[in-house]
């Protein structure tokens, strides 16, 4: 099974929380007491549907086939002021960077960013109050109690935006997957045609002195991605989370490097203007095809406002220099 079919970044789930238990209307009776006062306990609350962050997860695959999540109902109150048992909570573990939305309205409910963080997605119904709460000077033996609150049922969307340190930005075929396979242990599918990468691939890049950073190969942008053309929107969503954007443009591009860079930048700007303020590094890939003279020619026409490096993943050229640049930008 390729990583492609394992990467799931969007699931829609019907969540049903538990009903609250009813309060008890019991009156105290024992050998010595024929007509005791009210001693009915409260009902237990219904189970919540809870979302919990788990740093070991990278995908929502495990939730893909769970269309319905049903939490347990609370138990009714009992005599001697005993509260009923709380309904069983349902806990959905998700990767960090998961956003929960209401499927009907599209409203963002919350986002999970920490390991172990828990948020209630669909709250359970409250338990009803037992009859002893309703005792008063005028009504000393209330024979009624509160029913429990019903649970809720709603459709929610869980959507993952990857939390990576470096996002690779470039047209299809710019050499992004090749770079990832060289600098990390990730094994993306690599081929010489557009859209080989249909899902974001993640790789841990080892750096000096045992340090590392996460790199995400985000599928190639094509002109018009910001308007939802191609696979645009789904992938641009992942770029929002990267702290540094690595623009990759092949040395053998038919346009000038500057033009190609400008087009990529425009796509990002159209989609979300904030992306343009992220730190950027430019890598000219496939530069083993260039001799010194050509390289100097290209260097003269590079955009002046960003660090640039010539690399070749195949010839292992410029890779360490690129890692140094990225590390500097991540920690700036």
| Residue linked to tokens 């974001």 | 200
312 or 193, which is more confident = 312
Cβ atoms within 10 Å of 304's Cβ, excluding its own: 7
Give Cβ neighbours of residue 245 (< 8 Å, ≥ 6 apart): 166, 167, 169, 239, 268, 275, 278, 279, 280, 281
| Residue linked to tokens 């050509």 | 294
Please state, in angstroms and rounded to a whole number, the distance separating the CA atoms of residues 184 and 325.
16
Q: Tell me the pLDDT band of 237, cut-offs 50, 70 and 90.
A: low
pLDDT of 251-296, one tens digit each?
Answer: 887 788 888 888 888 877 877 777 788 889 999 988 887 788 888 8
Is the pLDDT at 199 greater than 70? The verdict is no
What fold does the segment set 166-330 form as a domain? Answer: Rossmann fold (3.40.50)
Q: CB of 52 within 8 A of CB of 117?
A: yes
Please state, in angstroms and rounded to a whole number, the distance separating the CA atoms of residues 177 and 200.
10
First to last CA, the chain: 39
Where are the chain's structural domains? 1-160, 166-330
| Of 78-92, 227-241, 293-307, highest mean pLDDT | 78-92
Q: Which CATH superfamily is domain 1-160 in?
A: GTP1/OBG domain (2.70.210.12)
pLDDT of 16-39, one tens digit each?
Answer: 999 999 999 999 888 887 788 899
Per-residue confidence (pLDDT) for residue 196, from 0 to 100: 41
Per-residue confidence (pLDDT) for residue 282, from 0 to 100: 92
Is the pLDDT at 305 greater than 90? The verdict is no
CA distances from 147 to 40, 78, 230 (A): 12, 13, 53
pTM equals 0.63
Order across the sheet with 90-94: list the strands: 90-94, 49-53, 118-122
Chain centroid, CA 104 distance in Å? 19
pLDDT of 49-84, one tens digit each?
Answer: 999 999 888 788 889 889 899 999 999 999 899 999
């Amino acid at each position: 099974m390729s990583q492609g079919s394992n990467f799931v970044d969007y699931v829609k789930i019907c969540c049903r929380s538990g009903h609250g238990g009813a309060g008890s209307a019991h009156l105290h009776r024992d050998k010595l007491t024929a007509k005791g006062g009210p001693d009915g306990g409260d009902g237990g609350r219904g189970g919540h549907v809870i979302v919990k962050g788990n740093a070991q997860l990278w995908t929502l695959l495990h939730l893909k086939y769970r269309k319905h999540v049903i939490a347990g109902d609370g138990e009714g109150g009992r005599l001697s002021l005993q509260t009923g048992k709380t309904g069983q909570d349902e806990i959905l573990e998700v990767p960090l960077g998961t956003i929960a939305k209401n499927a009907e309205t599209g409203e963002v409910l919350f986002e999970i960013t920490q390991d172990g963080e828990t948020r209630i997605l669909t709250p359970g119904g409250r338990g009803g109050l037992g009859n002893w709460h309703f005792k008063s000077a005028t009504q000393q033996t209330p024979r009624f109690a509160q029913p429990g609150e019903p649970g809720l049922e709603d459709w929610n969307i869980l959507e993952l935006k990857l939390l990576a340190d470096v996002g690779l930005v470039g047209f299809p075929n710019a050499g992004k997957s090749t770079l990832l396979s060289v600098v990390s242990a990730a094994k993306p599918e690599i081929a010489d045609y557009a859209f080989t990468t249909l899902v974001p691939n993640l790789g841990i890049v080892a750096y000096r002195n045992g340090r590392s950073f996460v790199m995400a190969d985000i599928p190639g942008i094509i002109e018009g991605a910001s308007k939802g053309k191609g696979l645009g929107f789904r992938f641009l969503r992942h770029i929002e989370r990267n702290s540094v954007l690595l623009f990759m443009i092949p040395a053998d591009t038919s346009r000038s490097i500057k033009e190609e860079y400008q087009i990529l930048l425009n796509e990002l700007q159209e989609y979300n203007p904030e992306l343009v303020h992220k730190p950027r590094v430019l890598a000219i890939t496939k530069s083993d095809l260039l001799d010194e003279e050509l390289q100097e020619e290209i260097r003269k026409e590079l955009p002046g406002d960003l660090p640039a490096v010539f690399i070749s993943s195949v010839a292992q050229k410029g890779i360490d220099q690129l890692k140094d640049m990225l590390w500097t930008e991540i920690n700036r």
